[in-house]
Structure 1
Amino acid sequence: MKFLVVFIGLLFTNANVADIAEVRELYRYAKDSKENTEKFLEITEKTNYQNDPVLSAYYGCALTLKASFSEKRGDKISFFKQGKKLIESSIETDPNNIELRMIRLSVQSNAPRIIRYYKEIDEDKNYLIKNIDKVTSLKLKEFIKGFMSTSKVFEK
């Protein structure tokens, strides 16, 4: 009986937690509109981002996107700084994670130059090029290659 109660509790506890596949799918379209950004932020907030560097970086990415759609200058700065901090903290935790490098590259390559968050663009671009063939997960490899094929950074 205890097992059944615990199992049902876990089922309902995890019902609101998004998986990485859902987060990646929402990420692809998050920048397209304010509504997409809000959905991406909502879903990434519900993840276990405090204990997972990749989910934390996606949440940071969502915050930087929220900054771009914010109307108040103070909100723009605050959301962007929070997001940047999460992304950088994630990369400090796992600097050889190609997905984290992709997330940072996507944010830096789309951030306004005035924010001065662009110093690792070439480093991350080269890291992705050098390491994409080492990715063992087919889904992750396809996802990152999709990013690389649409990112203006790789047109040069």
Structure 2
Amino acid sequence: MMQAQNRTEYTNLMLKSENSEVATQQFLTKAKEDFKSTKLPIFGAYIGIGNLFMAKHAGNPFSKLSYFKTGKKFLEKAVSSAPESLEIRFLRYTTQTEMPAFLGYNKNMAEDKIFILDHYKDSKDEVLVEQIKQFLKI
């Protein structure tokens, strides 16, 4: 489980990354450094998210596709490495809800939502639980 302070930092970086390539590069650099030093799947998930944001900011269609594929790969590897991680499943769910349908990266939404709804009440991570409640409007 990630420290709440660290999650808040990542959440703030993600919010900035949505509209800024510079912020996305900072987010991605931090995620790579944290993954390199810890090897924790959550940081692999954040690398995936960072690459998906880079796909949004890239101008070249080939770069967009490359970032998308890399992001998807990292996020899926994080889920397969830690399938019981509420945070990683929530990250994938929120990502897939925002993906354009034509990319076809939306096949896990139902299973992730069920998992999240079944497990969020048991989480001791109050920050994550609050993020889930806000996103799912529960």
TM-score range, shorter chain: 0.7 to 0.9
Q: Would you say 1:46 and 2:46 are equivalent positions? A: no
Whether 1:101 and 2:89 are equivalent positions in the alignment is: yes
CA–CA distance in structure 2, aligned partners of residues 20 and 55 of structure 1: 11
**Which residue in 2 is equivalent to 1:25?**
12
Measured at CA, do residues 27 and 148 of structure 1 come closer, stay the same or move farther in structure 2, by a change above 3 Å?
A: farther
Q: CA deviation at 1:146?
A: 3.5
Tell me which moved more, 80-89 or 140-149.
Answer: 140-149
Q: Matches of 1:129 and 1:102 in 2, distance apart?
A: 10
Q: What is the TM-score normalised by the length of structure 2? A: 0.83
Q: Which amino acid aligns with 2:33?
A: K
Report the equivalent of 2:127: 139
Q: Which amino acid aligns with 1:104?
A: R
Residue in 2 that maps onto 1:67 = 55
The CA RMSD over aligned residues, in Å, is 2.2
Give 1:99's aligned amino acid. Answer: E
Question: Are residue 118 (structure 1) and residue 106 (structure 2) matched?
Answer: yes
Distance 1:63 1:138 in 2: 27
Letter in 2 for 1:38: Q
Partners in 1 of 2:13 and 2:136 — Cα distance? Answer: 17
Residue 25 of structure 1 and its aligned partner are, at CA, apart by: 2.8
% same residue: 27
State the distance in 1 between where 2:7 and 2:116 align.
20
Whether contact under 8 Å (2:32, 2:43) holds in the other structure is no
Q: 1:77 to 1:102 in 2, by over 3 A?
A: same
Residue-pair matches, total: 133
Long gaps (5+) in structure 1: 1-18
* CA-to-aligned-CA distance 1:31-73 (integer Å, 9 cap, x gap): 2333432332232222125711011101101101100110111
Residue 71 of structure 2 is aligned with which of 75, 83, 102?
83
Residue type of the alignment partner of 2:119: N
Query: Where does the alignment leave 5 or more consecutive residues of structure 2 unmatched?
Result: 1-5
TM-score by length of 1: 0.75
Q: Distance in 2 between matches of 1:27 and 1:133?
A: 24
| SS of corresponding position for 1:23 | helix
Question: Is the radius of gyration larger for structure 1 or structure 2?
Answer: 1
Q: Structure 1: how far apart are the matches of 2:22 and 2:102?
A: 25
SS in 1 for 2:107: coil
Q: 1:80 to 1:147 in 2, by over 3 A?
A: same
